[in-house]
Amino acid sequence: MLKIDKDKCTGCGECEEVCAFGAISIKDDVAEIDHDTCTLCGTCVDTCPSGALEIESKKEEQKILDKDNWRGVWVIAEFRSGRLFPVTFELLGCARKLADKLDVPLSAVLIGNNVKDFASELIKYGADQIYIVDHPNLAQFLEIPYTNVLVELIKRYKPEIILAGATAQGRSYIPAVATILETGLTADCTELDVRIEDRALLQTRPAFGGNLLATIVCPNHRPQMATVRPHVMKALEPDDSREGEIIEVKIDESLFETSTKLLESTVEEQTGVDLANADIIITAGRGMESKENLSLVEELAKLLDGAVGATRAVTDAGWLSERHQIGQTGKTVSPKLYVGCGVSGAIQHIVGMKGSDIIVAINKDPDAPIFDVSTYGIVGDVKEVLPKLIEKIKKEKGL
């Protein structure tokens, strides 16, 4: 329950303002809490300048008895369509730092069929050990066998930290793994660190549509599990001289059984440039005003060999497909150059593109929030600026 120390409360109202649920109101210069509305999110506790708020937990400090038996950092490799997904290398880059800080080995888990040859890749990118479960029944990803295998590995080897990609695959079975193990799982982390004193994984993720960043811990349960958004962490440069140990794990085949059948698996032809891997992204926002005007964005993208991105307003309006969407509910991108055309800069969009090297914003409204995050800002009408930009680039290129 959220408790208030009425002697400390000054009635300043800071808590009332930060509460996203409207659970606090100031009455007679003291904060009053509506306990039915309060979700115990804790935002107010951190905000209160006088330390008058506290979340009282009934929970005894239930230390798990064998917490010290859990050691090591794991990355769950994502193998699909005959290749390792890039997020695996990003996870290894981030996990390497965590493992070094904790002074433990970094292990990767590789599940599939005929995947042994890929173990060396994982070592090059930072893993010390590879646990391989290789079996024809694991050739295709299916939730239940993959869940069973991972649960079995975790119970056997007891790692303290497990990272997986917040991809379609990771998001589909990692929550099942955490539930079976009755441990915590933090989704879509954008920053990870460890607190040495208690070896806690500090997991930071956007909350409330990116309006807040919340740092989450899992103090009394092991393993500590997190999924990480693709394109947020940086992979290490591959090092051919690194050495590692490959451990082939035999698992009871009954764990591979499932009544679910995979009838068909299709890789769709990717239309246009792959947003996630593009060096240059030209993004259309609501300020483009109409679907017709998007031709300007498309022309500029084509000229610069870039990809076309979109804000949610644009995909919701049906001007572009959801595949183009950048932001909290879309993709996270970090190109060398991002150009926002008529993009206002809602926080949900900004969390998906703030990692770009150079951000250029073109917007009529000088107060548009996108200017706060941009490297270069142009206040102006996209319908005038873009044609001029296109014309000049064409001239430079001798077109």
Partner 1 sequence: MRFVVCIKQVPDAANVRFDPEKGTLIREGVEAMINPFDLNAIEAAVQLKEQLGGEVVCITMGPPQAESALRDALALGVDSAVLLSDRAFAGADTLATTRTLAAGIKKLGGADIVFCGKQAIDGDTAQVGPGLAARLGLNYATCISELEFIKDTNCLKVKRAWEEGYDILEIKLPALVTVLTCINTPRVPSLKGKLKAKKANIPVWGAKDLGLDTSLVGLSGSPTQVVTTCVPKFEAKKEMLEGDVEEKVDTLLNRLKEAGIL
Residue ranges in 27-46 that form contacts with partner 1 under rule CB under 8 A: 35-43, 46
Check residue 268 for interaction with partner 1 (CB under 8 A).
yes
Distance CA 53, CA 31 (A): 9
Contact present, 275 and 325 (Cβ < 8 Å): no
CB of 44 to partner 1, least distance (A): 9
Check residue 373 for interaction with partner 1 (CB under 8 A).
yes
CB of 234 to partner 1, least distance (A): 18
Beta-carbon contacts of 51 under 8 Å, excluding residues fewer than 6 positions away, are: 5, 8
CB of 375 to partner 1, least distance (A): 6
Residue in 112, 159, 210, 352 binding partner 1, rule: CB under 8 A: 210
Strand partners, 54: 3
Residue in 20, 246, 273, 317 binding partner 1, rule: CB under 8 A: 20
- Secondary element (H or E) of residue 161: strand 161-165
Distance CA 151, CA 111 (A): 12
User: How big is the site for partner 1, counted in residues (CB under 8 A)?
Assistant: 112
Q: Which is nearer to partner 1, 119 or 351 (CB)?
A: 351
Check residue 86 for interaction with partner 1 (CB under 8 A).
no
Instruction: Identify residues 118-177 at the interface with partner 1 (CB under 8 A).
Output: 142-144, 147, 167-169, 171-173, 175-177
Residue in 137, 293, 329, 334 binding partner 1, rule: CB under 8 A: 329
CB of 94 to partner 1, least distance (A): 19
- For residue 112, the tally of other CB atoms under 10 A from its CB is 23
CB of 149 to partner 1, least distance (A): 14
Q: Which is nearer to partner 1, 130 or 278 (CB)?
A: 278
Check residue 179 for interaction with partner 1 (CB under 8 A).
yes
Check residue 295 for interaction with partner 1 (CB under 8 A).
no
Give the pairing type, strands 2-4 and 53-55: antiparallel
What is the residue-wise DSSP string for 42-61? -HHHHH-TT--EEE------
What is the residue-wise DSSP string for 314-368? HHHTTSS-GGGBBSTTSB----SEEEEES----HHHHHHHTT-SEEEEEES-TT-
Which of 304, 399, 293 lies closest to 358, judged by CA?
Answer: 304
Helices (H), 12-142: 14-18, 43-47, 86-102, 119-124
Residue in 70, 351, 352, 363 binding partner 1, rule: CB under 8 A: 351
Q: Which is nearer to partner 1, 270 or 290 (CB)?
A: 270
Residue window 219-258: x/- pattern of binding to partner 1, with contact defined by CB under 8 A = xxx------------------------------------x
